[in-house]
Structure 1
């Protein structure tokens, strides 16, 4: 029987094996973790191919792949891709596109014609902007543009009504567009490591949002936080004011459907002193820590909290994990 799934992961290959070409009914192909730098033209013969993994290779060009209309999943993270072909629009069935850690500086508007796309990962590139037509990706559920050079977001982002997760960390954003209020399905948003000075009032309209990380921006006021947020990280901001109701909600906890250990407010020692926050006010009889504190003065972090801090911050601040016998 002719193979429909082939796995050549980690075989030290420098090119596609001829065995692949003979598998004309192939649907799934894994070539992760090799040293392949070229996709052969004959791959267009594999018209049944739906899933293609090419992570951790040396691929520079994706043009030939746009002739595979059945392709639904394309993973090419950690390669040397400098551009996405304009003809990407031909992949009408594509649902997942992973292009993290490549050399992309621009994204063609034609990518926004992939109306079946649900997951788009563009992290760790050199993107300065996203296409104005981004809102056409109406089925998008995950958008990750972590660690790029984005200075603004297109207003059409508000049309992504199915978006569940938005990762904007480590860019050059100075503000969020008012259209962001349209992200009605968004449950998690992270834009730590930017240059945002204020949170827009429209943020309160994100009624599904539960996790919000705004660490290391230029925020002096913490306000306009949706009441649905149960995980809020604000450390490394020059905060001088925090809405009293926000503090109160984390002190009293949320309804019984949310486990105690699941919600928290994450601040730093500078904010604690500036705002005169008493950790004891955040304890319940269960002794769960609803207040997390990052000690930026002594470069310390509680071992239990380290998983909530991006690795890049841990390395930048040279944080030491400790087990405290008492609160800061």
Structure 2
């Protein structure tokens, strides 16, 4: 987390899975998650407890024992079955943090307003009655108020008139159409989250709250941004994805501290030239818009680290963009590239490059310059053969080559063994008939996805990948699995549905990985016993054969001796 306790912001519905990479996200990350070893059960309660976690305990109320903790400062009661807040809540005179989200609370008792020390209150995901909300306005020391998913249709004016110290206001997932004009009274407000409401116009009132640093208005019905947005000189993050925006006001250039801008999934055709002055920009998301041309303004943003330009009609990348050496994540998927721009190969700090869904036919050898590249997505392109230049990327950890729509690969080269750092290999939706034995040398591989191919068997070398966690080979032509597959102790998921399996049988495979393992062990035991019996018979046969040979030899010897003792035949000797 960088700028906010609420978490980080990430472009949604983008095709690239940036699992390990730090990406900005509009979704709040809960701050009320407590490590289990720090939680305290009611049986250990004493009058000197300052913190207690009773989340997700199926509790129906806040017990009198908890309410008697005079020095309690932080109480977690989220994810329970609580229907009301006890009136004795006012006994907790030192309480600063109260989390009651994800319960069944409808009415808020007046006594809650007497807990004057409260700094953070979360009542999200409760069926709150709007008429009881004004009680919160008495908590004038409040710094953070979260009312997510409470079916709010309007914000009580009293909250805006009295909560002068609030710095964070969470109102996402409600039915708000607008904000009261009195919200300008929240002069210390720094973060406001209004995602997933029914707001049709960017609230101009927000433009007059000078301390605002984060505004989240994603997934609303906003069609324009007011010129007054330029008044927000402390704004750091602005999230407006999934709206109906067709333009951006030039005055946004006055928001000099702006570092994160998400305008994805709108109707934007161009950016104002003056935006080049936003030199603090770190994360830009313009995916799924109608730009058609590369926005040259961003070539002036030398601090950019994350750039998402998926599906905006690009055919080329200007050379000036490739000078942005701080870029670590670049998404150019679903555009119109027929080749990988060679200039991108000069962006040596790139760690993630997504080029899915283009018309690329080959990879330039210059790609070897991307020595820090960990994630490469090239699915749904136009390669006629497997691009062996990929094997120059020795730092690669995740490789995506699934071909839902593009020309399909028929083989995977043995040189795959050169990618010794590979953790994930995705080659689904191709025409692979076999996997190379060299696949077993990828000792760091965790995910092997070969679903929807033409595989008839898996190489035994797969059993050498000791760190493998997921093996996805559904919808192939497999009839059996490698005998020692269960030796992979980290392997938790095996998908073989859609194969004509006989060993193990389909009915066993349908029962999941543990059933497959049990079957393989049983088959090994049966085979071992069979071999043991065969060896015993072989030994007996050999002994019997040896005995028979020995007996025969003895008989032959005896016959030879007997012949030697016979008398001379009559007339055969000379007369004397």
Rounded Cα–Cα distance in structure 1 between residues aligned with 2:275 and 2:360: 30
| 1:235 match | 333
Q: CA 1:41–1:289 in structure 2 vs 1: closer, same or farther (change >3 Å)?
A: closer
Q: How does 1:170-319 map to 2 (within 5 A)?
A: 170-223=265-318, 224-225=320-321, 226-228=323-325, 229-240=327-338, 243-246=341-344, 248-249=345-346, 253-254=348-349, 263-273=351-361, 276-277=362-363, 279-284=387-392, 286-288=394-396, 295-297=403-405, 304=424
Rounded Cα–Cα distance in structure 2 between residues aligned with 1:214 and 1:130: 21
Shift of 1:284: 4.0
Shift of 1:292: 5.6
Please say if 1:54 is aligned against 2:165. no
3-state SS, counterpart of residue 115 of structure 1? coil
Rounded Cα–Cα distance in structure 1 between residues aligned with 2:218 and 2:392: 39
- Listed one character per residue, the Cα deviations across residues 133-161 of structure 1 (whole Å, up to 9, x for unaligned) are 11221212211111111111111222222
| 1:125 match | 220
What is the TM-score normalised by the length of structure 2?
A: 0.48
Rounded Cα–Cα distance in structure 2 between residues aligned with 1:155 and 1:322: 48
- Listed one character per residue, the Cα deviations across residues 238-273 of structure 1 (whole Å, up to 9, x for unaligned) are 235764322x325xx34xxxxxxx613211253323
| 1:92 match | 187
Does the 8 Å CA contact 1:109/1:132 hold for their aligned counterparts? no
| 2:443 match | none
Shift of 1:297: 0.9
3-state SS, counterpart of residue 97 of structure 1? strand
Does the 8 Å CA contact 1:268/1:296 hold for their aligned counterparts? no
Q: CA 1:212–1:293 in structure 2 vs 1: closer, same or farther (change >3 Å)?
A: farther
Please say if 1:65 is aligned against 2:159. yes
3-state SS, counterpart of residue 49 of structure 1? coil
Rounded Cα–Cα distance in structure 1 between residues aligned with 2:114 and 2:282: 45
Rounded Cα–Cα distance in structure 2 between residues aligned with 1:65 and 1:179: 38
Aligned to 1:10, which of 95, 102, 121?
102
Does the 8 Å CA contact 1:61/1:81 hold for their aligned counterparts? yes
Does the 8 Å CA contact 1:86/1:111 hold for their aligned counterparts? no
Rounded Cα–Cα distance in structure 1 between residues aligned with 2:107 and 2:402: 48
Shift of 1:233: 0.9
3-state SS, counterpart of residue 179 of structure 1? helix
> Which runs of 5 or more residues in structure 1 are unaligned?
255-261, 307-320
Rounded Cα–Cα distance in structure 2 between residues aligned with 1:212 and 1:131: 25
3-state SS, counterpart of residue 100 of structure 1? coil
3-state SS, counterpart of residue 169 of structure 2? strand
3-state SS, counterpart of residue 148 of structure 1? coil
Does the 8 Å CA contact 1:107/1:130 hold for their aligned counterparts? yes
Rounded Cα–Cα distance in structure 2 between residues aligned with 1:140 and 1:146: 17
Aligned to 1:19, which of 111, 116, 140?
111
Aligned to 1:116, which of 187, 194, 211?
211
Rounded Cα–Cα distance in structure 2 between residues aligned with 1:18 and 1:203: 52
Does the 8 Å CA contact 1:270/1:297 hold for their aligned counterparts? no
3-state SS, counterpart of residue 112 of structure 1? helix
Rounded Cα–Cα distance in structure 2 between residues aligned with 1:121 and 1:17: 30
Greater relative CO, 1 or 2 (CA 8 Å, sep 6+): 1
Shift of 1:44: 2.5
Higher strand share: 1
From the CA coordinates, give the structure whose radius of gyration is larger: 2
Q: Which moves more between the two structures, 32-41 or 279-288?
A: 279-288
Rounded Cα–Cα distance in structure 1 between residues aligned with 2:263 and 2:244: 10
